[in-house]
Amino acid sequence: MTTQTAQQALAEATNRKDAPSVVDVIAAGKPFPTEVHAEMRNTDAVVDVDQFSLWYGQTRALFEIKLEIPRQGVTALIGPSGCGKSTLLRSINRLNDLVDSVRTDGQMLLNGSPVYAPDVDVIELRKRLGMVFQKPNPFPMSIFENVVYPLRIDGENRRGLLMEACERALKAAALWDEVKDRLKHSALRLSGGQQQRLCIARAIVADPEVLLLDEPCSALDPLSTLRIEELITEISQRYTVIMVTHNMQQAARVSQATAFMYLGRLVEFGPTQSIFQTPHLDETEQYVSGRFG
Amino acid sequence: MSDVTQTTQATPAQTTVHRRTPFSARGEPRVWLMAMAVVVCLALIVGIIGLIVVRGSATFWQGPIDEVRLQDGSVFLGVPSVTETYQPQPDELERIEQARADGQLDNAHAFTKTGEPVRRRYFVGNRDLGQESFRWVPLWEVASIEQPKDVVLVERDEWGPFLGRVRTLRAVTDEDPNPTGQEFKPESVSDRELQSAIDTMEARRAAIARIDRTQIPRLQNQLRQLEWKLKAAHLNQERRAASADAPPAWLWWGAMVGCIVAVGGVLGLRKAVRHTNSGSRVPVAILACLLLATGSLAYLWLERPGSHKGMSDDQVTQIEQQVEAERNAILNEQSGLLTQLDDLREEDNRYRIIIEEPSLGRISPVSRSAPDDPMRLSQVVRIVPANDLSFSGRIGVYLSRWWEFLSTNPREGATAGGVYPVIVGTVTLTVLLTISVVPLGVIAALYLREYAKQGVVTSIIRIAINNLAGVPSIVYGMFGLGFFCYTLGGYIDEGPTEPTPVGSWWGLVGVLFLAILIAGACGLFVRRSGDRLPDSASRLISIGATVGWLVAVVLAFWAISSTPYFHGFFEAKLPEQTTFGGRGILWASLTLALLTLPVVIVATEEAIAAVPGSMREGSYGCGASKWQTIRKIVLPSAMPGILTGAILAMARGAGEVAPLMLVGAVNLAPALPVSTDAPFLHGDRTFMHLGFHIYTLGFQSPDSEATAPLVWTTTLLLITIVLLLNLIAIIVRARLRSRMATSAV
Ligand SMILES: Nc1ncnc2c1ncn2[C@@H]1O[C@H](COP(=O)(O)OP(=O)(O)OP(=O)(O)O)[C@@H](O)[C@H]1O
Ligand SMILES: [Mg+2]
């Protein structure tokens, strides 16, 4: 089955002009085969999304997503607003469980262990992932307590250890120099860019397996954006990063792989370079060049 | 692009839309109206507060004393208060005419310009001489008013102030008990000898009070405790005699079997778990076995063969001897104290002061029944030479009266003296109320907002809570009296009135455990199975869980309220004296807590709902559990709102009087609810409360006209205390808020 769809896709790719457009296929309600570039097949997947669907009550937000996120480096999720990027990201750490009416289907594996199985301990699962949100959300406590929050809730109270972890995370998040003299101050008084870097520090303090970033720069000025982009590049040496972004340049600059989503489907997935320069599908090309979506 | 611009430019020329602003759109008249409404509100508030502050703080100010000579030759002393016109009776009118005809009306102030007569109210005191505290004097009757420097106002233990002149101070000696003794006439009130005599007397009076009010009551209390100890021992002796009948043997064995089965179950299940990955149901099974095992073990322990209830005769004899010894020691000490007290009193009795009032030359008596015996010097609280005071002296008197008011015990059936115990009672009550209502309300609000499934039931509960806030407070008082004082307090005092027999009681406990197990299992099953079950089945299971918990709660209440193992903590004091089974500050504060619960719940719910979802998500994203998120993120963020609720609850609770009259406030409490004796906070004691004290002063005192100024002062005090308590909470809240303040992102 899988090979067949891949062949079909290949046929469509070589013969683009005659194939019906993605929009038409989706509008007709037909199952849509994801265009996965050859480089992205059979990689060592950290997050393996397998035919994953998600409903908010009656409305379906994700349609049989199949996506293998490669180890190390940054994978960018792009697509027009409302296409389900955040939903997909939040499905990986099951943050969507907090919404009452959510129903899921399909499977997802994080480093080989299932994410959606009845006996999965959601809290343990979330401890393996770090997440940064669109809007900086520091907690109403000191900078220090913010950074070590994930360790605190694990019951870690040894001061020296916490201090060390805090320093390491803040340095990794390029915030240490700015706040090292006021770790005891309230985190809410930091500037927006600093707050976002603080959130990144908090997300990496407990050494997550994967870092999930949901438009981490959208509330920031260009300079802060630049710093955070550099930061992401640096962090991605050690962690696998999945990042949602609306900024094409950012995706091009930072990521190694890019997935293009549209109306709850994963449309095309490939190395960033080829997605931006030689995409297989017209829609992808139009989207990345800003003429669609 | 360009033709678009053209069309927009062309439009105004074609259609003539005439835009105007109607008068109703301009808000000025309404703004004026609203401003007027605000001004009226402000005026009312400022008016009431100003009135209370002015009247309340004027009470202790000492004005001069007038010596008034009337035209018929009589003389009296009085402190003038109100002057007003009045409508004379016909016969008085005649007398006025008569006087006018005689040309005696030379007092220019006796009539207004329109010819109405004027009268003045004088505070004349000297109530033990058989006169009213106040006297209205028509000014036309007055021949002269003087303010002689030697008249004084003497504040006394009893019967209110006495107005007169200090004549002599004398010490009655043994040889010559009655009239003269050492005698001297003080030159003035500031006479050194008089002052030093008063000081000595003060010390002696303090010593008497210490023995009489503190030491002897403490000994008597100890004696009573001993008696109760003895009585408890005897009760226990009887209980032992009655408890000879052993429980049914089958139950004993049943419990044994249950225990073994339970332990076996635990072990077996643990083994099974290692092989099959049955996951979440194991904790339930283990919990079940543990519960059963604990229950059975408790039974085995409590009903073990030959277990002893009550006390053996030997133990009782031992206690009897011990009590006897302690009683003798206490009685010894008491008789020592009593002799000491007698000596002090005798000495005290010797020093007398003669204060004479001018009208009939009578003196201030030692008691009402002995009008010719001069009062003891120790009965004097303060001698105020009202006409011989400089301004700073007046301020000194004013401040010392305030200090006395705030720091001493009430006198004369709580209509005079200080309000110290009243303040302590009010503050203790409010603090107790706050620390019991806030946790309860916060927990309730947390559950409602965070855990309960939002739906019809939660809406109904919310509506019910909001309506509770509107129930008249006296209803809470009745509930508090019926439930807290009599039911709960009675249970604490003497245990269940009709305990279930041991055998059936353990049966009840067994059923209770079963209900808990079923409910717990249902709950876990429904949560873990997710959507793998058909809807109807999962609904059935969740109903099972709910019903199971309800049954468990009912059974638990039943079991606790009818346990045969509890005989109350204060059984021995009954029926002589109730401890918690009567009115007291603990029950009063719980009643008020109930009354103010809706306020706290509503405020907390709002505060919790206002915590941004992004913060919760951030916490969950870090791998925090729900409880950790609530405790570390939601509650701290909601703290200012919760404190607002606490402030509102405090303000409402501290001002409440009606329910307190039912559950514990009294005119005159024998002891403070807090003390330096263990257990420091005496929840069983009755207490005094400022709100109730206002009522007492205003409506229960024999001379309510004289206490009216005190009503104002007490009101001022109540408002101040509520304000101070609120201020503390407000400061804490402000600090929290400033810590929470966000930077401009
Ligand atoms: N809690 C929710 N309840 C119901 N529908 C939701 C919920 N959250 C998201 N949706 C819907 O799911 C779809 C996908 O939303 P999602 O937030 O994933 O989009 P997105 O790609 O992240 O968009 P954006 O780029 O604007 O953030 C949208 O149609 C949205 O309306
Ligand atoms: Mg989004």
Render pLDDT for A99-140 as a digit per residue (tens, 0 to 9). Answer: 888 889 999 999 989 999 877 888 999 999 999 998 899 998
B636: closest chain A residue by CA: A140
Q: Whose Cα sits closest to atom 3 in ligand 1?
A: A56
> Number of A:B CB contacts under 8 A?
94
Question: Binning pLDDT at 50, 70 and 90, where does residue B54 land?
Answer: very high
The candidate with the shortest Cα–Cα distance to A257, out of A71, A10, A49, is A71
Q: B423 vs A26, which has greater pLDDT?
A: B423
The candidate with the shortest Cα–Cα distance to A234, out of A44, A92, A72, is A72
Distance, in Å, from the CA atom of B252 to the CA atom of A202, rounded to the nearest integer, reads 58
Distance, in Å, from the CA atom of B248 to the CA atom of B251, rounded to the nearest integer, reads 6
Render pLDDT for B570-604 as a digit per residue (tens, 0 to 9). Answer: 887 777 778 888 889 999 999 999 999 999 999 99
- Residue-level pLDDT at B276: 46
In our burial notation (b when 16+ CB lie closer than 10 A, e otherwise), range B272-288 reads: eeeeeeeeeeeebbebb
Distance, in Å, from the CA atom of B148 to the CA atom of B151, rounded to the nearest integer, reads 6
Render pLDDT for B96-125 as a digit per residue (tens, 0 to 9). Answer: 888 888 776 766 777 888 888 889 999 998
Render pLDDT for B481-516 as a digit per residue (tens, 0 to 9). Answer: 999 999 999 898 888 888 888 778 888 888 888 888
ipTM: 0.89
Chain B nearest C-alpha distance from A215 (Å):
14
Domain locations in chain A?
1-33, 36-125+254-293
Collapsed DSSP state (helix, strand, coil) of residue A70: strand
- Residue-level pLDDT at B246: 53
Poorest-pLDDT segment among B314-328, B338-352, B517-531: B517-531
- Residue-level pLDDT at B14: 66
For chain A, the residues whose C-beta falls within 8 A of a C-beta of chain B are 93, 95, 98, 103, 118-119, 123-124, 126-127, 129-131, 133, 135-137, 139-141, 149-150, 152-154, 186, 188-192, 195, 199, 202-203, 206, 219
- Residue-level pLDDT at B365: 87
- Residue-level pLDDT at A5: 53
Q: Whose Cα sits closest to atom 30 in ligand 1?
A: A82
Place of tokens 């999930």: A212
- Residue-level pLDDT at B278: 47
Given a cut of 60, whether residue B173 has pLDDT beyond it is no
Render pLDDT for B296-315 as a digit per residue (tens, 0 to 9). Answer: 777 777 776 666 677 788 88
Question: Binning pLDDT at 50, 70 and 90, where does residue B180 land?
Answer: very low
Residue B98 region by backbone torsions, left for phi larger than 0, else alpha for psi between -120 and 50, else beta: alpha
Given a cut of 70, whether residue A225 has pLDDT beyond it is yes
Question: Binning pLDDT at 50, 70 and 90, where does residue B745 land?
Answer: very low
- Residue-level pLDDT at B181: 45
Asked if the peptide bond before residue B217 counts as cis, ω within 30 degrees of 0, the response is no
Segment B614-641 shows an average pLDDT of 91
Residue B673 region by backbone torsions, left for phi larger than 0, else alpha for psi between -120 and 50, else beta: alpha
Given a cut of 60, whether residue A35 has pLDDT beyond it is yes
Backbone dihedral angles phi then psi of residue A60, each to the nearest 5 degrees:
-95, 130
The sign of the CA dihedral B245, B251, B255, B256 is positive
Q: What lines the ligand 1 site, CB under 6 Å?
A: A 56, 61, 79, 81-87, 99
What is B324-377 written as a DSSP string?
HHHHHHHHHHHHHHHHHHHHHHHHHHHEEEEEE-TTT--B-EEETTEEEEEEEG
A219: closest chain B residue by CA: B745
Provide the H-helix boundaries in B122-275.
192-209, 216-242, 249-275
Give chain B's largest Cα–Cα span: 129
Question: Binning pLDDT at 50, 70 and 90, where does residue B4 land?
Answer: very low
Question: Binning pLDDT at 50, 70 and 90, where does residue B93 land?
Answer: confident
The model carries a pTM of 0.81
The candidate with the shortest Cα–Cα distance to B623, out of A178, A249, A128, is A128
Given a cut of 80, whether residue B682 has pLDDT beyond it is yes
CATH architecture of A36-125+254-293: 3-Layer(aba) Sandwich (3.40)
Mean pLDDT of all residues in chain A? 86
Residue B413 region by backbone torsions, left for phi larger than 0, else alpha for psi between -120 and 50, else beta: left
Q: A32 vs B580, which has greater pLDDT?
A: B580
Residue in A103, A121, A131 to test binding to B, most B beta-carbons within 10 Å: A131
Q: What share of chain A is helix, strand, coil (3-state, %, to 5)?
A: 40, 25, 35
B614: closest chain A residue by CA: A137
Residue A225's CB: how many other CB atoms inside 10 A?
A: 18
